[in-house]
Structures are given as C-alpha cells and as structure tokens.
Chain A
C-alpha cells in the first residue's frame, strides 16, 4: 500500500483532486482477489462492477501458501510464499498475474550457525510486503521462526535484513517453536511509511511491535499501552502478541492494531497505544485476528471479532459472524452482518484473511478457515459469498489491475 500522501490535514485537498479526476474518464480497474490457502492459491477475477467473479486456480495445488501479494508499483508482479508438507520454504514470482511462476534463486534462509551451535531454519515465509514506492523491486519478508529478510531484485534473492535475526535480545523476544502460534511464532505486519522508506514497523507474535527510523540500523520497541495476558509482565516484549497492525494510507501517523488482548489505535508521535476495543459491545468483545483500514479515511477501520472467552474458541461469537466498523477512530463500533449466516456459523478468520480494495465505495473481503470468501461492495453493509469449498484460507489480498 505505498500510497504517497501526507497527513490527514490534506484530506480535503485529496477530495478536490479526486473530483477533478472524475470528469476525465479513467480506465476501470478490475479487482483480483488473491486467496492463499493450506492447499494452494486461487485467484478470483471480478468484472469492473465487482459483481461477477471468475475463478482461476488452483495454482500450486497441495502447496501450503501463507501469503500472495501483488506489487502495487508495477501492478503485475505477484510474489507467493510457498512450501509443502515435505519440501522446504521458498518464494515463487509471477510477472503475468499467475500465468507462469518462477522460483526464487535464493529464498529467505537464516545464517549457518558456527560449528557446535544450534542454528535456525526458516520453516515458512509468513508475510510479504513491497518496500517503498521509491524502491522498485525491493520487498520485505517475515518468517517463522521469526526473521526479517529483504530482496532488492523483485523477490529472486533474499538476505537477512538488519541485525535482529541474530541479536541476543531479539532472539529472546522472538521465542521458539514452543512459544505462541501453533505452527511457530510469526513475524508479520511489516509496514513501510509511504513518506519515508527508512521508516518502517514490524510485529511479532509474540514479541511486540518494533519501529525503525533509520532503515533498520536501530529499532525501538513500541508496546506501551498494550495489554498482556493476566500474570505476565507487560514490560517484557516477548509476551506481547499483536495479531495484525495496519497503517492508514491517508494518515501515516495513525496505526490500528488487532491484538490478542484487544483492539488499539496509535497516533504518532505518541508511543502509547489506546485500547479502542473497550468500546465494542461487551457480549462480542474485542478479540480477533485481522485489522483493516480505510484507504482514504483514517477514522474508519474494520475488525472481525472472534470468541476469546474461557478456552478461546476463536470462532465467531455465538456462531454469528459479523464485521464491526468504526467511523470515528474507535469511539463507537457498528455491527455489519447483513447477508452473513444468522446462526450456527463457527467461522475463524485469520490475521491475513481480511482486506479492502480502494474503490469507492470500498470493497471488503473475508476468507474463512472453512474455505469461503465473502465480499461486500458497500463497505460492509451487505455481504455476499463469492467462493466456497476452498481449502483452509490463510490469506486474502486484493490486486487492482487495469
């Protein structure tokens, strides 16, 4: 989402620019939904109205795909984080929207440990982020076990980025395969400030949120205000579990976060997160995985709550799936469930499995672990199912193409 905009004060100007553009016909952009699953990739191609959908797939049938992302800088390159049950992790790249794929020559891999020491091996790449708009062909990757990697050649060769992968303090915070997430701790939510390529954030489940303002030479921990599970020490980054962090393209000083312990907002330069999830209905709570922000309105964000009571089912509360939206930066939330199943629908929606396009009105997309993709053409007011019977969905991203 490398959209070069200034702070929210520029919103009025942007609106004016858009309305001027509106008198000039622009080629309609089609939405392609990139669905990454435990057993392959499916691409859902829409018409320009987002009303009919054509399924293209499977790609990589039987492969475990944690993330597929379009490069917004060229509008045609896809990167896919791929492994199988037997085979080691790799990255595949397509420059023709999935017609053909080529494997990375050097996928993300940790440094070989000195003799006698136990080294780490990447199990899977979990998260892919294109770098800044001014850094074409550059990408970041977050892995499990947790590591930060970068490619400067469009995803063909990858190397460790910054010092953190082998730093004693970070290794403590990163934990081991026995900590946290069932198939290993995840580095995720790698977010580049659209105003400054040297300014970026990343999050670790567990391990907290981290910020660099100098291109990765140094990092600052950014967990103040974030709650942790009762009994743990909130000053220890290792026990913080941010599930998904998003930066508002229209105001890069505002971030939203869905955490294991609630929903938060951060307005820079403050370093203290505010738990805006306390304003959610009590019977629903503020537990969940994904977080989605509006591309043009920094007061609007969506979540998809999960049940975090007793043994943490992490399914839609009461078996009634719903998104919730705030239009005022978290002061109040509204339920959005029209068109979704009314009962006995025990959905789980993972952290990468909800996203938005940039059309007007915004389209929202949700993928479930039961293999269904639902979308809304009107910012969540009404939902329709656009794919079902897919494998367990890990990630849903949107590509907008000419």
Chain B
C-alpha cells in the first residue's frame, strides 16, 4: 500500500511516498523498518506506543491502535504534529 511520509522521516526514505505492506499497522511499521532501518523507533517507542507528536491516518481517519487492520488498497499517512517554537 501507499504510505505518505512526513518531512522529519525523509532522511530515512528519501521519498515522500513509499510502498510497504502489512495486515496491521504493526506489520506495516515492521516492513517500513526493514526497508528503512531505524525509522520505526523514531515513531514508536519501546513500549509500542506512538510517540507524542506522530500520528497515523488510514484513508483519512486517525488511528490510534497499532493492531488496526489494513487492506492492500488502504492509504496510510504518517503526520508530524509538533507545536511550539
């Protein structure tokens, strides 16, 4: 499926849109980390929680559960949500 990558992670992917696969967000992140080593830990902490300013959208809807099921046709967007100076 297509995954939209935010600018803080372009140093890993070198592309704003990448292809990855997985039946859940967890599996998708594992595939992204296989392709782009180190990416997952910058987004998900060691307790498998999304980091405070990273958010996931699937087909435009915000998703908080990493076990969320995905279909190959889904569009996944990683969003940076930082505020402050």
Interface residues of A (CB under 8 A from B): 84-88, 90, 103-105, 107, 109-113, 118-122
Contacts and interface: CB of A to CB of B under 8 A. Distances in A.
Contact of B42 (A90, A105, A112, A113): A90
Of B37, B47, B49, which is in contact with the most chain A CB atoms at under 10 Å from its CB? B47
Contact of A103 (B38, B43, B47, B80): B38
Nearest to B55: A86
B43 A87 contact: yes
Interface of B: 6, 8-9, 37-38, 41-49, 51, 53-54, 80-82, 84
A87 B47 contact: no
Nearest to A104: B38
B46 A86 contact: no
Given A85-B53, A86-B54, A121 B81 contact: no
Contact of B41 (A85, A90, A111, A120): A90
Given A88-B44, A90-B41, A121-B49, 18 more contacts: A85-B84, A86-B8, A86-B54, A86-B81, A87-B8, A87-B43, A87-B51, A88-B41, A88-B43, A105-B37, A105-B38, A107-B41, A109-B45, A109-B46, A118-B47, A119-B47, A121-B46, A122-B46
A87 B44 CA distance: 9
Contacts of B53: 85-86
B47 to A, nearest CB: 4
Given A109-B46, A112-B46, A122-B46, A86 B51 contact: yes
A105 B37 CA distance: 8
Nearest to B44: A88
Contacts of B47: 110, 112-113, 118-121
Contacts of B54: 86-87
B5 to A, nearest CB: 12
Contacts of A105: 37-38
Contacts of A111: 46
B82 to A, nearest CB: 4
A118 B45 CA distance: 13
Contacts of A120: 47
A112 B48 contact: yes
6 contacts: A86-B51, A86-B53, A87-B42, A90-B41, A103-B38, A104-B38
